[in-house]
Structure 1
């Protein structure tokens, strides 16, 4: 009697286990992408919490998935090459482990091995996992069943979600009890690096962007049919804002930024003739650009200093955009042009393509 129970449970749970794993992987992947675009503390905390819970929730299904894999191997000996499935499993494990290492904030070799941080491995692994997952699911596709939305299935899904949430809450509590560095990370999951000390901030760029050898000595301002070149030396007009630069590389720093508010600069060019709607393109000397709502111009700063010191080349000298509440890739470095445009700000790639 006792020998039959372990065999019956996996047989019944095989399909549900696979669907549960698929759902958790999709939630983890979706929230992982969304976390890069959300910079406000409240919303980002929710997104990152769901992301972490979905990732840790995969561990809850490991015992069932192990039995399913063993049974599948016995049935498919000589029929199908298991290399892709094994590779997918290994990458999932690697992605979860590196995500945990980043969250913990370990000070050993994993923050950066050969210049590659745990978070970078985590993101790269996740991208490959999602690609392989599409191939794997397509090859093993199953038709939907009415029982997939039955009351019992929904209760099981709810139990899995609750278990994943409890595992995440427990892990966060453990970080705080043990005093691990990860206990103090921001809602976005970023760790503090260089607050009030710009020289201690890491120098990072978005994907293929690089520190230019030559930087503009003037800033082109295009608005209201006029084009004016403003010397960078004239941009330090006493405007100050304390804001958090939250980099998608997994770190953040809070600084006192100095320069000129964007709305003041635009008013010098066109006076009161700015349109009520519209957007403003902020363009780097490298071609990197972001478009922001013109209504936010009063909260945006073109900074030439941080913590009272001139910006370094790696941090955007001679002038960079400071966009409070937005992630680091919105903070355009080496700004060479700002231009008021009619196009809506959201009509652009969610993430820079450069």
Structure 2
């Protein structure tokens, strides 16, 4: 009975294979994009990621059930080790993602379970492509035509959505850590203080406050050079910091409004983007209208920023993820276009 039910739900073999590739690509795209998504309105992106991930789990079940006979001794070929590795990485990526959503909080070395999930997901993309190349069989029209195929995929997606919803209900009923997580998957940080995390290799020497200056230049009418003493740090703001390491915290910040600093420099009519630079070379660009609402913070929780938290100045960017809250700010640049080199800077900042 169970076997016949599975057979009714299982799409044709070639369609399963190509569907796995499609799901992996969707997971990679939504996963990468979600790293920069922190606004509440962006929750559908995370929901799609979860539903497609659960659908991928079912497709992998069908795939592994079909190829199980090939794994017997004597039936391996040159591509089998790659296939096995791909399956292991795929299942590990799915398992760590589900575990994180359910509230499992286990660190693996220096990485959280969420970091491991992200790493495995990125590794899975090239592995699936290589596997498909080794086992390439083009999809045919007969593989996806017919009402039955549409019903099968509808059932898979609806089933994935129901399981995702069930995960939330389980967390709520059981009172697990997962219940308190944001839609991004980040868990709350309790107690005083919050973790010190930085982008990859960004670990500069402590900044000499006497020598430090904040430059405001680019498309401005009057470039500025400000010292710590000339910053009017009376603006206060409570903001939620959501780190892609998998935690979030709500803190009271004090400093100077970025909009105030920009107005003091005078904004050129051609300016559309604001790039915030760190002493490490790391930087990130924001639309001008949004950036005006940011804060250049000198204090958090009533205390001066520590070096690890970006002393003497860090960006507070509500609705943005933690890696966009630039630390050790040294320059504000107004531009006509987004600074495309910021993506290269994420790879080399702190190293060069």
Settle same-fold status: TM greater than 0.5: yes
- 70-79 vs 169-178, which deviates more? 70-79
Q: Does 1:213 align with 2:199?
A: no
After TM superposition, give the deviation of residue 122 of structure 1 in Å. Answer: 1.0
Q: Does 1:173 align with 2:172?
A: no
Judge conservation of contact 2:279–2:328 (CA < 8 Å) in 1. yes
Aligned ranges 1:42-61 → 2 under 5 Å: 42-43=41-42, 45-61=43-59
After TM superposition, give the deviation of residue 63 of structure 1 in Å. Answer: 4.1
Corresponding pairs, count: 343
Distance 1:258 1:316 in 2: 13
Aligned ranges 1:194-273 → 2 under 5 Å: 194=190, 197=192, 199=193, 201-215=194-208, 217-223=212-218, 224=220, 226-270=222-266, 273=267
Secondary structure, in 3 states, of the residue corresponding to 2:31?
A: helix
Structure 1: gaps of 5 or more residues:
none
- 69-78 vs 282-291, which deviates more? 69-78
Scaled by the length of structure 1, the TM-score of the pair is: 0.87
Secondary structure, in 3 states, of the residue corresponding to 1:249?
A: coil
Aligned structure 1 segments of 4 or more residues deviating by more than 4 angstroms:
4-12, 73-76, 345-348
Aligned ranges 1:1-354 → 2 under 5 Å: 13-43=12-42, 45-73=43-71, 77=75, 79-107=77-105, 110=106, 112-152=107-147, 153-194=149-190, 197=192, 199=193, 201-215=194-208, 217-223=212-218, 224=220, 226-270=222-266, 273-275=267-269, 277-344=271-338, 349=343, 352-354=346-348
After TM superposition, give the deviation of residue 316 of structure 1 in Å. Answer: 0.8
After TM superposition, give the deviation of residue 119 of structure 1 in Å. Answer: 1.2
Distance 1:7 1:301 in 2: 55
* Alpha-carbon displacement from aligned partner over 1:28-74 (angstroms, at most 9, x marks no partner): 2221112112121121x211111122222233235422321124446
Distance change >3 Å, CA 163–CA 346, structure 1 → 2: farther
Task: Provide the aligned C-alpha RMSD in A.
Answer: 2.9
Distance 2:276 2:169 in 1: 41
After TM superposition, give the deviation of residue 226 of structure 1 in Å. Answer: 3.5
Secondary structure, in 3 states, of the residue corresponding to 1:142?
A: coil
Secondary structure, in 3 states, of the residue corresponding to 2:198?
A: coil
Secondary structure, in 3 states, of the residue corresponding to 2:254?
A: strand
Judge conservation of contact 1:244–1:254 (CA < 8 Å) in 2. yes
- 147-156 vs 158-167, which deviates more? 147-156
Distance 2:274 2:181 in 1: 32
After TM superposition, give the deviation of residue 147 of structure 1 in Å. Answer: 2.7
Judge conservation of contact 1:278–1:345 (CA < 8 Å) in 2. no
After TM superposition, give the deviation of residue 26 of structure 1 in Å. Answer: 2.3
Scaled by the length of structure 2, the TM-score of the pair is: 0.87
* Alpha-carbon displacement from aligned partner over 1:51-106 (angstroms, at most 9, x marks no partner): 12222223323542232112444698254341111111111121122212222233
Structure 2: gaps of 5 or more residues:
none
